[in-house]
DNA sequence: CCATGTGAACCTTTTCACAGCG
DNA sequence: CGCTGTGAAAAGGTTCACATGG
């Protein structure tokens, strides 16, 4: 069943594997078994083997997976093989945290530009990125950026999203507390910190 | 099938409904149909009706749902009916953003204390919360806090998680880039910004 | 008549068991 | 013999169609 449709859940897990593989690479390891990889990411070994089976044969039976080639292949599947620039919109508290975050390199992702509407912020350089005027969003197509991180107040999120899409953005990581209405050709991933926290109490022991 | 085991996916969606309901409440609306609610959160009407059916009968056929009583009931299901205090560990860029985030009230959640190991930060007050010494984590049980947000560097995340659990924490929102190993009685929700961004390119149009 | 509640069908994902290969 | 790859079974979730009730 090689290269058949890959389940969404598998796609969601691939970056997790990638993160762990980069960890093992840093430690100088060359091969890893589904069992060891499973343990380090917190899933079952057969889940991992099944996931990898969707995109061909990889491991050597009796030996395991070659970390370097597995990494390369997962990156290709996820289209992370070429470095990608990402635009950040909204340089408030959260935007600053995103700019300071160091975990993007591993995936070949780079926050290459930042936008804000506050005149006091425009022109300043944060973490090596100069904050540009929100009004210049329309010039985005020139830079061929396809991904954006939306870290603006909820009230203007939809409007900003519309403008991002008009500027050619095809993938949005949305931090604001609202559902975005977008064309089918645009993929939105949503992070709502409060919401994630809100589902925890349900799982707390009742006592 | 009332009050039978509620699917995890339904539990995950309940806070989304809650968020939308609070929006409609603010607008002064009293009743809402599954169709309207569905539209405002981006799911199907029958999904919503099915979700609600797990915990009893609510709506009035031909009329819709009473927003106030529905809100109350969802909060009860999620155990958000009593206000809950949350401990934040790690007051770096991300920790600051979490402290400044205003979306917790809606769920009856409140970041009531913050911890850091940096002497320069200890004692300072950020967003009304005074940063305490990391070493005082062990005093946490006295405050009956069950939830914590982990916003520390990846390298020390597991160690800090162990200490949180030792201090009686039962639910952790983990922002660090690693899988936490915890006892079954502890629930961990994981947010990895880079990882969420990393799965977007897969869904980009190939052209 | 309109909108809910739900059994049944359908689809997706996970788990299992084991064949196959170095 | 150890570990991968995979069909098949089981579980979990979504969609549908329609009975029901104000």
* pLDDT tens track, chain B, 207 positions: 445 689 999 999 999 999 999 999 999 999 999 999 999 999 999 999 999 999 888 888 889 999 999 999 999 999 999 999 999 999 999 999 999 999 999 999 999 999 999 999 999 999 999 999 999 999 887 789 999 999 999 999 999 999 999 999 999 999 999 999 999 999 999 999 999 999 999 999 886
Q: Is the pLDDT of residue A133 over 80?
A: yes
pLDDT computed for residue B26 by the predictor: 95
Q: Looking at the partner chain, which of B147, B195, B201 has a beta carbon nearest the beta carbon of A197?
A: B147
Q: Looking at the partner chain, which of A84, A107, A201 has a beta carbon nearest the beta carbon of B78?
A: A201
What is d(CA A166, CA A89) in angstroms, rounded to the nearest whole number? Answer: 14
Q: Are A94 and A175 in contact (CB under 8 A)?
A: yes
Torsion of CA A98, A102, A106, A108, to 10 degrees: 50
How many Cβ atoms sit within 10 Å of the Cβ of residue B179?
20
Q: Which two tokens stand for residue A31?
A: 């091969």
A31 touches strand D (CB under 7 A): no
**CB contacts, 8 Å: B173 with chain A:** 193, 196-197, 200
DSSP structural state of residue B70: H
**CB contacts, 8 Å: B146 with chain A:** 201, 204
Q: Are B86 and B110 in contact (CB under 8 A)?
A: yes
Summarize the confidence of residues A139-160 as an average pLDDT: 93
**CB contacts, 8 Å: A98 with chain B:** 193
A64 touches strand D (CB under 7 A): yes
Q: Is B152 helix (H, G, I), strand (E, B) or coil?
A: coil
**Distance to chain B for A195, nearest Cα, Å:** 6
Q: Per the CB < 8 Å rule, is B173 touching A191?
A: no
Torsion of CA B88, A100, A77, B180, to 10 degrees: -30
Q: Is B183 helix (H, G, I), strand (E, B) or coil?
A: coil
What is d(CA A70, CA A68) in angstroms, rounded to the nearest whole number? Answer: 5
Q: pTM of the prediction?
A: 0.95
């Amino acid at each position: 069943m090689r290269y058949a449709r890959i389940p969404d859940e598998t796609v969601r897990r691939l970056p997790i594997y990638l993160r762990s593989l980069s960890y093992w690479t840093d430690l100088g390891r060359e091969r890893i078994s589904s069992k060891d990889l499973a343990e380090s990411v917190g899933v079952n070994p057969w889940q991992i083997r099944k996931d990898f089976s969707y995109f061909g044969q990889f491991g050597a039976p009796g030996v395991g997976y070659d970390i370097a080639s597995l990494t390369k292949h997962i990156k290709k599947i996820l289209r992370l093989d070429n470095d990608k620039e990402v635009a950040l919109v909204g340089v408030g508290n959260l935007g600053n945290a995103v700019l300071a975050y160091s975990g993007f390199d591993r995936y070949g992702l780079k926050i290459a530009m930042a936008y804000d509407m506050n005149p006091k912020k425009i022109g300043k350089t944060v973490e090596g990125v100069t904050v540009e005027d929100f009004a210049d969003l329309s010039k985005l197509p020139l830079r061929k950026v396809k991904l954006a991180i939306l870290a603006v107040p909820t009230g203007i999120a939809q409007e900003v999203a519309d403008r991002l899409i008009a500027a050619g953005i095809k993938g949005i990581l949305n931090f604001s507390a609202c559902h975005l209405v977008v064309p089918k050709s645009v993929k939105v991933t949503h992070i709502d910190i409060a919401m994630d926290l809100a589902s925890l109490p349900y799982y707390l022991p009742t006592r």
